[in-house]
Amino acid sequence: MFLSELSPVIQELLKQPLAFTSGFCSGLLRLNLNEEPLASWLDKQGFSNFENNNTNPNSKPDKPQSITIE
């Protein structure tokens, strides 16, 4: 009886073990899947302001840039 209740869980585990384990661990840790964990962690570490290494000071990043292909 108990084994028949666990059979769908075991089948999913055998189909996709990595995805199942990731989902199981995120459930245990009560992670919010709607958040981006890496971005919030980087903000907490102080890496939220990245420097732009653009060599052209006259380029405007908010506008599309044109390129030529020869």
Q: What is the pLDDT of residue 30?
A: 86
Q: pLDDT per position in the chain (70 positions), as tens? A: 678 888 888 888 899 888 888 888 888 988 776 677 777 777 887 765 555 455 555 555 677 888 888 8
Give the angle subtended at the CA of 20 by the CAs of 36 and 7, to the nearest 5°: 150
The CA-to-CA distance between both ends of the chain, in Å, stands at 70
In the chain, where the domains are located: 9-45
Rounded to 10°, the helix 17-28/2-15 angle is 120
At 67 the pLDDT is: 86
